[in-house]
Chains A and B, each alone.
Chain A
Amino acid sequence: MTRYIIRRILWFIPVLFGVTLATFILVRAIPGGPFDFVGDKSLPPAIVANLEAKYHTDWPVWKQFVSYLIGDEFLDPEGKSRGLIRLDLGPSFRYRNRTVNELLAVSLPVSAQLGIFALALALLIGIPMGIIAALKQNSLLDYGATFVAILGRSIPNMVLGPLLMWVLALKLGWFPVATWGTKPPYFLGFIPKPTLDFFTHAALPAITLGTGLSALIARLMRASLLQVIREDYIRTARAKGLRERVVIIRHALKNSLIPVMTVLGPLFAAILTGTFIVEQIFGVPGMGKHFTQSIGNRDYAVITGVTLIYGIFLVIANLMVDISYAWLDPRIRYE
């Protein structure tokens, strides 16, 4: 198993290289360049030429790519970028004087917080809902929970987001309207002060993202607990005269949580896509928001950097999926 994991991690290198190369070429193939406009005005040709020389967009693409990978100090005497192999994603083409690393250090934590909140919410709602549905199987409660779960899976973020915003923020005024990071205190950075204010900003996006996930967890939890309850050792526990509550909490719950835990890996990939979408809807200043803004700006460096980060998360998520399958089903063996 260890050898398998090591091999898979080595496999990350060519995949991420491919992701970077494909993005690098694709963004440069899109008509229009990063220096076409500043605001609404177009720049004089002389300035554009200078900027292109500074950011090397006048080089052939292969040379730009090499310099992106190993840094431009070797190719340009004035170069400062250290290259991807030394974990430098280069300077942003649009936010002058800022590097992509600096931009990501601000926006990545925001996306991560949104994802973690949504996941925590999904577990907090999904697990109890699944347990209740399983313990009261075929009751009205069970059908209700199943119905809510199917609805939760089917209602798109794009519908739920605006709906929640209208009801909870505009009508009832319980939450602020899409102001995460737009005015002080911004709540950016790795560990923002967990004040009540921060949670109110994060609540609507997190609920929007978490609803679909909680539906999935509830379904899984219900199916798993129903299976475990029918096992012999549960009958034995009951036969010993243990109280029902002890039987459920001590014996059944622990084992039925295993499939739920293993689905956390695959969920990770869903959360990635989810944060991207929810960030657009609520204007959350995370990586996804940065990505779409940079597309309009043709900020090649930011686009490539953000895609690479998503790629890294995705390959890790895929590996977690495969490992969790092996853990769940001993017949699957990797070598």
Chain B
Amino acid sequence: MAVAEATRELAIPVRTERGPLADAFQQLLANKMAVASGVFIIFLLFIAIFADNALIAVPLGREVVPLLAPEAFDQVHFRLNNAAPSRQYLLGNDYLGRDMLSRTLYGARVSLAVAFSAATVSLLIGLVYGLASGYFGGRVDDIMMRVVDFLYGFPILIFVILLQVYFKAISRRGGTGLVGTVISLNEAMGGMFFLFVALGALNWLQMARIARGQVLSYKEKEFIEAARMVGAGDMRIIFRHLLPNILGPCIVAETLAIPTYIFWEAFLSFLGLGVEPPTPSWGIMISDAYQALRSYPYQLVGPSVALTLTTLAFNFLGDGLRDAFDPRLRGTM
């Protein structure tokens, strides 16, 4: 009681108790660029989801019509091929007369879907692997980390490309049973499913290392020992006590990797190894525009601006998240 009074008299500000998560969130909100980027990404997500009404129309079996996009992405106008920007088509038309603005808006769908899914796949594999390796330690850890070291020598981009070539050739040949199901699923998703697999399945090494390092730093803490003392099993300790603590830094690391996925999707599509036409991807659109650069340079505008802004936003958000969660790293790369 006396202490409380003394505190009041000395006007020492009593710090309200906040968890580390709320603290980090406060930090993030103070970063204007990160907040602006977050708003932009939510806006982009909104466009990606509501470019047309497929989300509602497909389950109900109704006709899919564009909502936010002026036209459907595969609406062809043969008279308007390569038309310059006009009042009706603000960014012009591509070589089939399709509206560039609509295709750019739809392109957000592929870009974000691939980026988030690849990030989720990579996060899941990396987390499970890193948790197991760090928690069980000893020989298990040695062997599992050896495998990671081993795979680090693999040029990932090359293998992503080879895998995509493999998946594309397989889907052209068709198949039966499980293979057939996966191929038709991939077709229904415009070729995105195999991209998730190829990008996510090959990019979990960094995540496994981060997760393991985090586990090692928490493993010997008192609260884990206390949990063990009251009889918690390995699974309970891993999922109830370790996972919530290491999840934050792992998600931050994965957010920092999202621009890479966005870029790789665009690059694979640029090479013709990404999504299947006519599904619009910024990579395919840049590739098409690039072929016609001499005659129709304006076709480059939409997809280029969209790709750059999205990368910029994710970079700012990632930097902001990292600063908020791990202030020691502020100002470094």
Residues of A within 8 A of B (CB): 11-12, 14-16, 18-19, 22-23, 26-27, 29-32, 150-151, 153-156, 158-159, 162-163, 165-166, 170, 216, 219-220, 223, 272-273, 276-277, 280-281, 291-292, 295, 303, 306-307, 310-311, 314-315, 318
**Which of chain A's residues has its CB closest to B304's CB?**
A159
> A15-B150, A26-B162, A162-B300 are contacts. A156–B308 as well, Cβ < 8 Å?
yes
- Contact check, B307 vs A32: say whether CB atoms are below 8 A apart: no
B166 / chain A contacts, CB cutoff of 8 Å: 26, 29-30
User: Which residue in A27, A151, A153, A166 is a CB contact (below 8 Å) of B162?
Assistant: A27
Closest 10 CB pairs of A and B: A15-B153, A310-B155, A154-B312, A159-B304, A31-B169, A315-B153, A154-B311, A30-B166, A162-B290, A154-B315
- The minimal Cβ–Cβ distance linking A82 to chain B, given in whole angstroms, is 24
A162 / chain B contacts, CB cutoff of 8 Å: 286, 289-290, 293, 300, 304
- Contact check, A291 vs B158: say whether CB atoms are below 8 A apart: yes
- Contact check, B150 vs A22: say whether CB atoms are below 8 A apart: no
A216 / chain B contacts, CB cutoff of 8 Å: 333
The reply to whether the CB of B173 lies closer than 8 angstroms to some CB of chain A is yes
User: Which residue in A31, A151, A277, A310 is a CB contact (below 8 Å) of B312?
Assistant: A151
> A19-B154, A162-B300, A216-B333 are contacts. A31–B308 as well, Cβ < 8 Å?
no
- Contact check, A311 vs B149: say whether CB atoms are below 8 A apart: no
* Bound: A30/B289 CA distance, A: 30
- The minimal Cβ–Cβ distance linking B99 to chain A, given in whole angstroms, is 21
B294 / chain A contacts, CB cutoff of 8 Å: 170
A16 / chain B contacts, CB cutoff of 8 Å: 153
User: Which residue in B155, B159, B283, B300 is a CB contact (below 8 Å) of A166?
Assistant: B300
The reply to whether the CB of B248 lies closer than 8 angstroms to some CB of chain A is no
**Which of chain B's residues has its CB closest to A316's CB?**
B153
A27 / chain B contacts, CB cutoff of 8 Å: 162
A223 / chain B contacts, CB cutoff of 8 Å: 331-332
- Contact check, B153 vs A318: say whether CB atoms are below 8 A apart: yes
**Which of chain B's residues has its CB closest to A303's CB?**
B162
- Contact check, B307 vs A159: say whether CB atoms are below 8 A apart: yes
- The minimal Cβ–Cβ distance linking B305 to chain A, given in whole angstroms, is 8
User: Which residue in B149, B165, B283, B311 is a CB contact (below 8 Å) of A30?
Assistant: B165
User: Which residue in A31, A303, A314 is a CB contact (below 8 Å) of B153?
Assistant: A314
- Contact check, B315 vs A150: say whether CB atoms are below 8 A apart: yes
The reply to whether the CB of B170 lies closer than 8 angstroms to some CB of chain A is yes
* Bound: A218/B55 CA distance, A: 45
> A158-B307, A159-B308 are contacts. A277–B267 as well, Cβ < 8 Å?
yes
Within 8 A of A (CB), among B229-275: 259, 263, 266-267, 270-271
Interface size on B, residues (CB 8 A): 42
> A19-B155, A159-B304 are contacts. A166–B297 as well, Cβ < 8 Å?
yes
Q: List 7 A-B contacts (CB under 8 A).
A: A22-B159, A154-B312, A158-B286, A159-B286, A159-B308, A166-B297, A314-B155
The reply to whether the CB of B144 lies closer than 8 angstroms to some CB of chain A is no
Q: Is the interface of B mostly helix, strand, loop or mixed?
A: helix
> A153-B315, A310-B158, A311-B155 are contacts. A18–B150 as well, Cβ < 8 Å?
yes
Query: Can you list, as one digit per residue, whether each of B296-333 has a CB less than 8 Å from chain A (1) or not (0)?
Result: 01001000100110011001100000000000000111
B300 / chain A contacts, CB cutoff of 8 Å: 162-163, 166
A30 / chain B contacts, CB cutoff of 8 Å: 162, 165-166, 169
B316 / chain A contacts, CB cutoff of 8 Å: 150
Q: How many A-B residue pairs have CB under 8 A?
A: 115
Known: A23-B158, A307-B158. 7 other contacts (CB 8 A): A153-B315, A154-B311, A162-B300, A273-B157, A291-B161, A295-B162, A306-B158
B158 / chain A contacts, CB cutoff of 8 Å: 23, 276, 291, 306-307, 310
The reply to whether the CB of B44 lies closer than 8 angstroms to some CB of chain A is no
- The minimal Cβ–Cβ distance linking A149 to chain B, given in whole angstroms, is 11
A26 / chain B contacts, CB cutoff of 8 Å: 159, 162-163, 166
Within 8 A of A (CB), among B54-79: none
B169 / chain A contacts, CB cutoff of 8 Å: 30-32
- Contact check, A31 vs B173: say whether CB atoms are below 8 A apart: yes
- The minimal Cβ–Cβ distance linking B198 to chain A, given in whole angstroms, is 12
User: Which residue in A31, A151, A154, A314 is a CB contact (below 8 Å) of B259?
Assistant: A154
- Contact check, B266 vs A158: say whether CB atoms are below 8 A apart: yes
- The minimal Cβ–Cβ distance linking B142 to chain A, given in whole angstroms, is 14
- Contact check, B153 vs A156: say whether CB atoms are below 8 A apart: no
From A15, A159, A220, name the one whose CB has the most chain B CB atoms within 10 angstroms: A159
The reply to whether the CB of B152 lies closer than 8 angstroms to some CB of chain A is yes
A150 / chain B contacts, CB cutoff of 8 Å: 312, 315-316
**Which of chain B's residues has its CB closest to A273's CB?**
B157
* Bound: A32/B150 CA distance, A: 30
- Contact check, A156 vs B165: say whether CB atoms are below 8 A apart: no
- The minimal Cβ–Cβ distance linking A204 to chain B, given in whole angstroms, is 13
* Bound: A291/B259 CA distance, A: 25
- The minimal Cβ–Cβ distance linking A231 to chain B, given in whole angstroms, is 17
B312 / chain A contacts, CB cutoff of 8 Å: 150-151, 154
- Contact check, A165 vs B293: say whether CB atoms are below 8 A apart: yes
* Bound: A15/B152 CA distance, A: 9
From A12, A18, A216, name the one whose CB has the most chain B CB atoms within 10 angstroms: A18
- The minimal Cβ–Cβ distance linking B154 to chain A, given in whole angstroms, is 6
> A26-B163, A31-B169 are contacts. A272–B155 as well, Cβ < 8 Å?
yes
B153 / chain A contacts, CB cutoff of 8 Å: 12, 15-16, 18-19, 311, 314-315, 318
Query: Can you list, as one digit per residue, whether each of B94-112 has a CB less than 8 Å from chain A (1) or not (0)?
Result: 0000000000000000000
* Bound: A153/B270 CA distance, A: 20
Within 8 A of A (CB), among B12-50: none
* Bound: A166/B290 CA distance, A: 9
**Which of chain A's residues has its CB closest to B330's CB?**
A223
**Which of chain A's residues has its CB closest to B158's CB?**
A307
